[in-house]
Homo-oligomer: A and B are copies of this chain.
Amino acid sequence: MTTRPPAEIGMPLDEVDTPALIIDLDAFERNLARLPARIAGSAVRLRPHAKTHKCPVIALQQVARGAVGVCVQKVGEAEAMVYGGVRDVLVTNEIVGQQKLRRLAALAHIARIGVCADDAGQVGALEAAAAEARVTIPVYVEVNMGGNRCGVEPGEPALNLAGQIADAPHLSFAGLQAYHGSAQHLRGWDERRAAIAQAADKAGSTRDLLARYGIACPVVTGAGTGSFEFETGSGVYTELQCGSYIFMDADYGRNLDHDGAPTKTFEPSLFVWATVMSRPAQERAIVDAGLKALAFDSGPPLVWDEPAASYERASDEHGRLALSAPTNRLYIGDKIRLVPGHCDPTVNLYDWYVGIRNNRVEAIWPITARGAVY
């Protein structure tokens, strides 16, 4: 189940086989530094979401730049992070089923493993797994911020669940999971600001309600790449869960900043490296990256190196580029960079990152949580 990497260390970029997932290391490192710089001096701490990169090598670089640990969505991702050296992992999700709960509790022997709950029955199942493994698991109450996905409603339902967690002998109540996912891609800055203001109200009033009942809420965790500045300034949130900031993608690139222009807070550093495999007509070039090399849930990729070309249509292993103007590139064998529409599910299609600096392969990092859906 292993694939050979599409490159070797030291190889010129032009020789890297395609499709490959490449990282512009200079841009990546700028992104890596920008978010800590933006929140320096505030009260919030960074816990980046590793569901984006699925790679403990990157997680440890985030920790080295001040992150308290990482988030994941799946037990398999938590395993990959812990086995890759990360010591503090929050599963920002409900974990259901005895097999997964046993794996989760086993990890708690060697790392701090937090998890979310939004149901009393689940608190019982978590307690049973923690007791069996003789560990104490920090549990966060997931609160519905308006995305209408998982989560209890703010206020009393959250209070009740927090109380149950606090009463469970092998669980500790650790805080509120208050991520507002559907706010991340609201295009307008004011829209996102308003959505997060509402979320902060819900999270803050819930935290205060808990306090009135004697339940301390040490952490309110949430935020994403699209909204972090609002959570940072909210006075409610204590942790940020941004993931995509290290890579960016075409969809996040369509978000507008406070000046109404597309956001420049972070820059694209992740690309799919593709080859023109057919050039049957002047106005059409076919590349070797299609539905199995790129995620299309947030639209097609951007063609990064060639303004005359746009990615028009995908099939399993083909991408059709439409050429709106003459170009002396995009002949058979030419290689180009594509910016994925959505970075997270695109990363999940690959086993290796190929890190590029000065047009040479400097790093090949295994994506050890690729496919870790369970």
Contacts and interface: CB of A to CB of B under 8 A. Distances in A.
Interface of A: 1-3, 6, 15, 17-20, 51, 73-74, 76, 93-97, 99-100, 118-119, 121-122, 144, 148-153, 181, 275-281, 284, 286, 288-289, 291-293, 295-297, 314-318, 320, 332-333, 342, 344-345, 348-351, 366, 368, 370-374
Contact of A373 (B93, B278, B289, B333): B289
A3 B1 contact: yes
A150 B277 contact: yes
A322 to B, nearest CB: 10
Contact of A96 (B15, B99, B288): B288
B344 A373 contact: no
13 contacts: A3-B372, A6-B374, A20-B374, A93-B317, A94-B277, A96-B276, A96-B333, A118-B280, A148-B281, A149-B315, A150-B286, A288-B374, A289-B373
A84 to B, nearest CB: 13
Contacts of A295: 291
A374 B17 contact: yes
Contact of A76 (B3, B122, B344, B368): B3
Contacts of A297: 291, 296, 314
B284 A19 contact: no
A279 B117 CA distance: 11
A94 to B, nearest CB: 5
Contacts of A1: 1-3, 351, 366, 368, 370
Total identical chains: 2
Contacts of A284: 148
Name the residue among A93, A278, A295 with the largest chain B CB count within 10 angstroms: A278
Given A2-B1, A97-B17, A344 B370 contact: no
Nearest to A345: B291
Contacts of A314: 297
A6 B366 CA distance: 22
A332 B121 contact: yes
A15 B348 CA distance: 25
A277 B374 contact: no
A118 B181 contact: no
Name the residue among A96, A144, A153, A286 with the largest chain B CB count within 10 angstroms: A96
B96 A348 contact: no
A293 B76 CA distance: 13
A336 to B, nearest CB: 13
